[in-house]
Structure 1
Amino acid sequence: MADRSDTAVTPEELRLLVQVGERIATIALNRPEARNAMTKRMRNDLCAALRSADADDGVDAIILTGTDPVFTGGVDLREVAADGASGNLGTDKRQAEDPAQACRDTAKPLIAAVNGTCVTGGLEIALSCDFIVASEQARFADTHAKIGVIPAWGMSALLPRAVGKRMAKEMSATARFVPAEEALRIGMVNHVVPHQELSARARALAHQIVAATTPATGATMALYDDGEGLSFADAKALEDRVMGSWTVDTDDMARRGLGPPAS
Structure 2
Amino acid sequence: MALVTRNDIDGIAILSLNRPEALNALSPSLFVELQAHVKTLAEQQEEIGCVILRGEGRSFSAGNDLKAMQAGEQAPHPLFQVETVEMIEDLPQPVIAEVQGHCYTGALELVLACDLMICSESAKFADTHGKWALTPLWGMSQRLPRRIGVLNAKEMMFTGRVVGGAEAFEIGLVNKCVADSRLSDEALKLARSIVENSWHTLRADKMLVNKGQDYGLKDGLEFERKNSPGRASGEEERLSGFKKS
| Residue 235, structure 1, aligned to residue 220, structure 2 | yes
- The secondary structure found in structure 2 opposite 1:26 is strand
- The secondary structure found in structure 1 opposite 2:25 is coil
Give the aligned partner of residue 45 of structure 1: 33
Give the aligned partner of residue 6 of structure 1: none
CA contact (8 A) 1:40 1:95 kept: no
Percent of residue pairs bearing the same amino acid type:
33
Question: Following superposition of structure 1 onto structure 2, how do residues 24-103 of structure 1 map, counting pairs within 5 Å?
Answer: 24-56=12-44, 57-83=46-72, 93=77, 96-98=80-82, 99-103=84-88
CA contact (8 A) 1:64 1:112 kept: yes
The superposition leaves residues 223-260 of structure 1 with CA deviations (integer Å, 9 ceiling, x where unpaired) of 111111521101101101113xx25225569756xxxx
Instruction: Name the aligned partner's letter for residue 39 of structure 2.
Output: R
The number of residue pairs the alignment matches comes to 237
Q: Among 84, 95, 120, which residue is 1:110 paired with? A: 95
Give the aligned partner of residue 133 of structure 1: 118
CA contact (8 A) 2:16 2:55 kept: yes
TM-aligned CA deviation for residue 146 of structure 1: 1.9
Instruction: Name the aligned partner's letter for residue 248 of structure 1.
Output: R
Relative distance call for 1:241 and 1:104 in structure 2 (3 A) is same
- The secondary structure found in structure 2 opposite 1:129 is coil
Give the aligned partner of residue 164 of structure 2: 179
Give the aligned partner of residue 17 of structure 1: 5
CA contact (8 A) 1:139 1:178 kept: yes
Q: Among 221, 232, 245, which residue is 1:249 paired with? A: 232
Q: Among 142, 149, 152, which residue is 1:167 paired with? A: 152
Instruction: Name the aligned partner's letter for residue 32 of structure 2.
Output: N
TM-aligned CA deviation for residue 54 of structure 1: 2.6
| Residue 198, structure 1, aligned to residue 187, structure 2 | no
The superposition leaves residues 127-149 of structure 1 with CA deviations (integer Å, 9 ceiling, x where unpaired) of 11000010111110001122101
Q: Among 207, 224, 229, which residue is 1:222 paired with? A: 207
TM-aligned CA deviation for residue 203 of structure 1: 0.5
For 1:49 and 1:254, how far apart are their aligned partners in 2?
Answer: 27
Instruction: Name the aligned partner's letter for residue 72 of structure 1.
Output: S
Larger CA Rg, structure 1 vs 2: 1
Give TM-score scaled by structure 2 length.
0.90
Relative distance call for 1:254 and 1:219 in structure 2 (3 A) is closer
For 2:117 and 2:204, how far apart are their aligned partners in 1?
Answer: 20
What stretches of structure 2 of length at least 5 have no aligned partner? 240-245
The superposition leaves residues 45-93 of structure 1 with CA deviations (integer Å, 9 ceiling, x where unpaired) of 11111221232231110000001211113321101011188xxxxx882
CA contact (8 A) 2:208 2:224 kept: yes
Moved more, 145-154 or 91-100: 91-100
Instruction: Name the aligned partner's letter for residue 119 of structure 1.
Output: Y
Give the aligned partner of residue 260 of structure 1: none
